[in-house]
Amino acid sequence: MDDISHCCFSSLSILITAILASVGSVFTASWATGDSGASNGSIGGGRWELLLENAGIASMHTAVTHYGTVVMLDRTNIGPSSINLSDGRCRYNPLELALKVDCSAHSVLFTPETRSLRPLFIYTDTWCSSGQFDASGTLLQTGGDNEGVAKVRRFTPCPPDDVCDWEELDAPALQDGRWYATNQLLPDSRHIVVGGRSVFTLEFLPPNGQAKTFLPFLQTSSDEQTDNLYPFVHLLPDDTLFIFANRDSIVYDYRMNTVVRALPRIPGEPRNYPSAGSSVMLPLRANESYARAEILVCGGAQLYCFLYPAPFPNASQTCGRLVITPAEEQQPEWEMDYMPFRRAMGDMLFLPTGDVLIINGAQNGCQGWDNARNPAFYPVVYNPDAPLGARFTTKAPSTIPRLYHSTANLLPDGRVLVAGSNTHQFYTYSGSFPTELRVEAFIPDYLHEAFNMMRPVIVIAPERVVYSQPFNVYVYVNDTVQGELELNMVSSPFTTHSFSQGLRFLKMKVERQIELGEGDGNLSFFQLHATAPPSPTVAPPSYYMLFVVNQGIPSKAVWVQVIYPSA
């Protein structure tokens, strides 16, 4: 056994005994939410569960920490929220536009397991800001509006029973104030911050003496309503960046400040804010040496919808898929597909299986205050491996409209946390589409009780893995395993305005699957031998959720930190 797995068992029998001793509690605790109490939908469609009646804020920015807690964040210049700061604290900010003295919280920390909520203290305005976790699991958060436009903030997570809070950094500050920008973690652990309203530059954090860089593409991709905001940025496995804005995209060498390739324009409508499509880079696969990168862009809105929202034109119903690497001799072409529903403001995220969930949004209109109608209540799942025309399945609908400023994030237990929605400039609790403070979970099909016996349980896994180094995962399955188990690794993004910044999915290879023994009934115990991602261009150093999947049924994730050998 390797040192990384921290397994000190001297024999197979001792290992199996240890697993048997821990299996019962692990299995029960991991899947307490997997019962059959379906109120919306059935085994074929998933179901919904209300987690919080009142989170205190409408979360326009949401991120899941490696402790499993959830950071929720709104703007500050919105007036009082519905949750007060603790211990009599108040925020005194003479530059604040709404309240100079504000005793309410505009950020909270939610613990899904206990459904507990703790107010956090944020000082400068975070309206339409950006962020991403760094190599240590700290959330770096940048920009916003008003006095927060050039601010850098930091949230260092802690266990749920400890106390941690936001820090406003005096230095570094952003070189350009950024509102509606996008962040991406780089292989060297820096963040690149791209674009913003009327800002056509990018910069690095920490800057390490490097000045901001003008990127003409950010200017030429604009239009009358600036549909190039919150650009879709994905780190490609060859250490270049895919940058998409409006309907255009490039491959960009951020080290040399050169455009490697200008890619073809996607057919159809504008796709970025305020037209509000979404994007993911499809899973990188070990059996392809993690070298093939494909981009998926779905949804959007009609041009001029933001400038002239009524009569709320139809949102886009199309998805485009483009192969980026390895580079081909011929220019790649967008492969177009149709979603079951039109959708703007949809959130795209990965399920533990590598399928893409598209959730939230509206079928008419676009982003902005009261600019949308006809909520898209039905989530859909996109299977990247299915043939064209057969990739979408429709799931059970929510009953809560999730429009402008809503979010969706994968939880380690396989549920999807859904929060936010505020189509108004201030908190408004009456009229059409009121400010939404409820938090719910979409529970996919694989958490139905019918699959409990097939669900793997990770008993022992490494806390850290080193690039290209082998590691072992020990798994319990309460049923017969047919074929190979899967190992999938997914990052935790910063989700806002229909784009999950830093989202990344790796389909790893199980190199050896050894059955260690059997327990009572059909209990089976396995050692899975795998190799960590080969480089930080494939998986930038950070925390990832590691899932084991048995015939489409995922385990609860364990958090694994991917590190350099010297870390």
DSSP class of 229: B
> What backbone phi and psi angles, to 5 degrees, belong to 466?
-105, 140
202: CB partners within 8 A, 6+ apart? 192, 193, 194, 195, 212, 213, 215, 218, 254
Which pLDDT does position 328 carry in this prediction? 66
Q: Using alpha carbons only, how large is the chain's radius of gyration in Å?
A: 23
The upper half-sphere exposure of residue 120, i.e. CA atoms within 13 Å in the direction of its Cβ, equals: 32
353: CB partners within 8 A, 6+ apart? 446, 488, 549, 552, 554
Which pLDDT does position 205 carry in this prediction? 97
| Nearest residue to 355 (alpha-carbon basis) of 312, 301, 411, 393 | 393
Q: How many angstroms separate the CA atoms of 292 and 285, rounded?
A: 8
310: CB partners within 8 A, 6+ apart? none
Contact 492, 479 (CB under 8 A): no
> What backbone phi and psi angles, to 5 degrees, belong to 64?
-100, 125
Contact 497, 130 (CB under 8 A): no
The shares of helix, strand and coil residues in the chain, as percent rounded to the nearest 5, are 5, 35, 55
DSSP class of 447: G
Q: What is the pTM of this model?
A: 0.93
Contact 334, 264 (CB under 8 A): yes
How many helices (DSSP H) and strands (DSSP E) are in the chain? 2, 45
Q: Cβ-count burial of 517 within 10 angstroms (0-12 exposed, 13-18 middle, 19+ buried)?
A: middle
Contact 268, 302 (CB under 8 A): no
Q: Cβ-count burial of 528 within 10 angstroms (0-12 exposed, 13-18 middle, 19+ buried)?
A: buried
Which residues share a beta bridge with 219? none
Would you write out the chain's pLDDT as a tens digit for each of its 567 residues? 343 333 333 345 455 555 555 444 443 333 434 333 333 333 459 999 999 999 999 999 999 999 999 999 999 999 999 999 999 999 999 999 999 999 999 999 999 999 999 999 999 999 999 999 999 999 999 999 999 999 999 999 999 999 999 999 999 999 999 999 999 999 999 999 999 999 999 999 999 999 999 999 999 999 999 999 999 999 999 999 999 999 999 999 999 999 999 999 999 999 999 999 999 999 999 999 999 999 999 999 999 999 999 999 999 999 999 999 876 667 899 999 999 999 999 999 999 999 999 999 999 999 999 999 999 999 999 999 999 999 999 999 999 999 999 999 999 999 999 999 999 999 999 988 999 999 999 999 999 999 999 999 999 999 999 999 999 999 999 877 788 999 999 999 999 999 999 999 999 999 999 999 876 667 899 999 999 999 999 999 999 999 999 999 999 999 999 999 875
Domains and CATH numbers, the chain: 12-37+448-563 (2.60.40.10), 47-447 (2.130.10.80)
Strand 505-508 with 284-285, pairing: parallel
